[in-house]
Amino acid sequence: MSSQVWKYPVITLNSNSFIPLIGLGTYKIKGRDLIQRCLQVALVSGYRSFDTASVYKNESDIGEAMNELLPELGLQRKDVFITSKLGPANQGKDKCRKACLESIQRLQCDYLDLYLIHWPGTQGKKPEEPVNKELRLQSWQDMIQLHKEGKVKAIGVSNFLQHHIDDIISETNFVPAVLQIEHHPHLVQDNLISYCRQKGIHFQAYSSLGTSVVENKLLSDETVEDIAKIHSKTTAQILLKWAVQQNIGVIPKSTNPEHIRENMDIFDFSLSQQEIDILNKLDKQIHYCWNPKLVS
């Protein structure tokens, strides 16, 4: 697979596969017609990376939509990058393997480009229970085997902290290709980013635009708004550019066709280092989503 099939910037993973820096997130996007409309706009706008998960309950709709849209647009399966994730209820030996193969089946494809452990804990277990460590290790071992078989081109983790990653590396000597975790100017993950770069792990941010609540404190941050005015861009575009310009992946989610297009339209300007530093100083260590620090 050559990165030349993608118009926009890509990163080479430690698995020697390529991942686009920008993908379309699909969390909370459900329903066959809505999925079809969102993917159609995204593909036409240049998106080639699509992020889902078993717990999103939309894999089947995404698979059906892709099967229709790709040939209509002159594209093939190899032209897109599909990520899915292991649900917390399916942690553990053999359960992980079964869940991954079921995701592949629902997505109607022969392989996944990236498969992530969605959460370091296990559904039904208390965060502090030591069994969480054993179960995620078993899942990781299943995923290594799936990778060797070619069922997944790259494997990684989501919502893991450094000690969670260190545990699986020390036991298997297999380094994740990707860490996907919450990251934005109100929650700057400098230590994790530095750690990932030392290990050769691609750092991918979710919730780059904050949350979808009515009062979004990130999108309405006055400092972000001021920088947006300087560049004649939206606050969302500034937040995405802040990450992408630092080679941090993003997977913004939207069902609004205009926003889907706008979120990809961030390659005709650059932020100054001073502007990046100003945005970094907005850090409040606020989690708008989940905080995995209590998971043992």
Give the β-pairing of 49-51 and 81-86: parallel
Q: Please state, in angstroms and rounded to a whole number, the distance separating the CA atoms of residues 3 and 11.
A: 9
Which residue, 149, 152, 275, is CA-closest to 224?
275
Which residue, 65, 61, 63, is CA-closest to 40?
65
Catalytic residue, chosen from 8, 27, 47, 56, is 56
Give the β-pairing of 114-117 and 49-51: unpaired
Backbone φ and ψ for 202, nearest 5 degrees, come out as -75, 130
Distances (CA, A) of 272 to 152, 234, 241, 243, 245: 38, 17, 11, 13, 10
Contact by Cβ (8 Å): 8, 267: yes
Residue environment code for 257-292, b if the CB has 16+ CB neighbours within 10 A, otherwise e: eebbbbbbebeeeebeeebbebbeebeeeeebeeeb
Contact by Cβ (8 Å): 242, 276: yes
Residue environment code for 103-117, b if the CB has 16+ CB neighbours within 10 A, otherwise e: bbebbebebbbbbbb
Backbone φ and ψ for 136, nearest 5 degrees, come out as -70, -30
The helix (run of H) or strand (run of E) holding residue 181 is: strand 178-182
Tokens 């809505």 sit at which residue? Answer: 34
Tokens 């054993």 sit at which residue? Answer: 134
Q: Is 107 in a helix, a strand, or coil?
A: coil
Tokens 């989610």 sit at which residue? Answer: 253
Is 288 among the catalytic positions?
no
Active site residues: 56
